[in-house]
Amino acid sequence: MYRISKPVVGLIAVALVGFAVALLFHFTLTAKEPLPALNINVQSTPISRETKAATSFAPIIKKAAPSVVNIFSTRVVRAQDNPFRRFYGDNLGPRGRRPRDYRAEGLGSGVIISADGYILTASHVVEGADDVKVALADGKKEISAKVIGFDPASDVALLKVDAKNLPAIILADSDKLEVGDMALAIGNPFGVGQTVTTGIISGLRRDGMGINGENGYENFIQTDAAVNPGNSGGALVDAEGRLIGINTAIFSLSGGNQGIGFAVPVNLAREMMERILKDGKVTHGYLGVNMQTLTPDLAKEFNVPVPDGVLIGGVMAGTPAEKAGIKELDVIAEFNGKKITDSRQLRLAVMQTPAQTKVTLKIFRGGAAKTLTATLAESADDSQTAKTSNDSRSTNKIAGDALQGMTVTNLTSSLRRQFRVSGRVQGAIITAVDIDCPAADAGLSAGDVIIEINHQPVSTADETIELGHKSTNGRVLLRVWSRDEDGSSNTRFTMIQTGKR
């Protein structure tokens, strides 16, 4: 055993104290300023759903309307952005004149969510704006606003004005909404001034409409409360005047309200807002797989012991999915411990998770369960180029068995251009589908590309027909490439059976 003399102990003690003081001083100088804490009022209790005969919505409006503001944004459109450039060359306009810069103005709405000046609105209301001003509901004050950040993928933006004691709205829990709940929309449609309309929640978790673009995050509340241009960014409130959504879009063939409006759920808007406040931007996770919802037929085909999940139709090279060991035909049943029942749920879970987050995935492969770990990348456009196939010609009508009623042909350069089929895709393209055939029942249509039949790759129309005729039980498993209405592409498995209508 060794002993340390008292003088040495004293010197060590002094040294340690000095080191601690120096370390504290270092962190005092280098520590970042604390992030501002949002002082928002959230009430998670659902509304009372007892039947009541309301004679007036005035008390609700008096509570919520002061929190809804008008937003005026301006953007300078530069000469090089002017469409004249495409037609006249060298930025010359009609009669050889150079087009001048001009100022474009936008109109929208927003919602005060904290008394010290934070305002939620839609990303498209302020994106690209050079100047943003906010007019309070009383119309007596117009304040310059700073855009803290915005997220086009969810259509959420956060603004800040230099003001105090503003009338902040109360936030509800949008996860507790039910179809049929009353909803009121407050905003500034067409610039006529603050307007209130009423309706109900017509639908929940609406997605796949391409409102926020190919890589957008869509999980909308649908309402029939009248929403028109200028309402964007405004409030959708419940029967107690609490914020349940940020109005973002309408479905309309005329440009005006037709009873189908969409709002970003306040829970999602709040999450994006907090990430904007923390990092100045929002990053969305990316896994790198083609996915489709597992059906009972597919579960039986691939020997999956669970009824729900997401079947992986392909894994992109170099992506987090490939690095994690996910393989084609795996079925993802859980994401970070949460059960996954369909492809929409998995896509939203991935996109809602920040990039560089490590996640766990429970999968089934060949009937056996496995747990994998993936580190999500940042979502980005999937733009890859490849050589096009040759222009061999062959068109065939398939008759008999499960593939009857389809017309397929070899993929040509012109067909690739017409249906926007990537050069990476090899197979036989469907050019027509009879309306009353099994393929139509399975959701196949012109422009889809058959790339496998019963797990065997095909590259020509002749191979497709040959393999189709080899199926004698009237049951065929196809792997199909298709392009969605929003422009995105995917591969999926489809089971076709004769007599199943």
Over residues 266-324, the pLDDT tens digits come to: 999 998 888 888 877 788 888 988 888 888 888 888 888 888 899 998 888 889 999 99
Q: Which of 73, 123, 154, 232 is catalytic?
A: 232
Alpha-carbon distances, residue 492 vs 206, 289, 312 (angstroms): 21, 11, 8
pLDDT per residue as tens digits for the range 325-367? 999 889 999 999 999 988 888 988 898 888 889 999 999 998 8
Check for a shared fold between 67-161 and 395-497: no
Residue 179, exposed/middle/buried by CB under 10 A (0-12, 13-18, 19+)? exposed
pTM of the shown model: 0.61
pLDDT above 70 covers a percentage of the chain that reads: 75
The CA-CA-CA angle for residues 386, 344, 173, to 5°, reads: 140
Nearest to 312 by CA among 294, 285, 330: 330
Q: Which of 67, 73, 154, 155 is catalytic?
A: 155
pLDDT above 90 covers a percentage of the chain that reads: 25
Q: Residue 141 in 3-state DSSP?
A: coil
Span of 97-106, 147-156, 208-217, 367-376 with lowest mean pLDDT: 97-106
For residue 103, give both structure tokens.
Answer: 């100022």
> 3-class secondary structure for 363-382?
EEECCEEEEEEEECEECCCC
Look at residue 97 in the predicted model and tell me its pLDDT: 43
User: Catalytic residue at 284?
Assistant: no
Residue 397 contacts residue 407 (beta carbons within 8 Å):
yes
Q: Cα(480)–Cα(478) distance, rounded to whole angstroms?
A: 6
Q: For the chain, what are the domain ranges?
A: 67-161, 170-279, 285-378, 395-497
- Domain spanning 170-279: which superfamily? Trypsin-like serine proteases (2.40.10.10)
CATH 2.30.42.10, applies to 285-378? yes
Q: Which of 73, 124, 174, 448 is catalytic?
A: 124
Number of alpha carbons in the 13 Å side-chain half-sphere of residue 14:
6
CATH code: domain 67-161 is 2.40.10.10
Element containing residue 457 per DSSP (H, E):
strand 456-457
User: Catalytic residue at 155?
Assistant: yes
**453: number of Cβ within 10 Å:** 25
Instruction: Assign domain 395-497 to a CATH class.
Output: mainly beta
User: Catalytic residue at 469?
Assistant: no
Q: Cα(117)–Cα(1) distance, rounded to whole angstroms?
A: 66
Look at residue 213 in the predicted model and tell me its pLDDT: 61
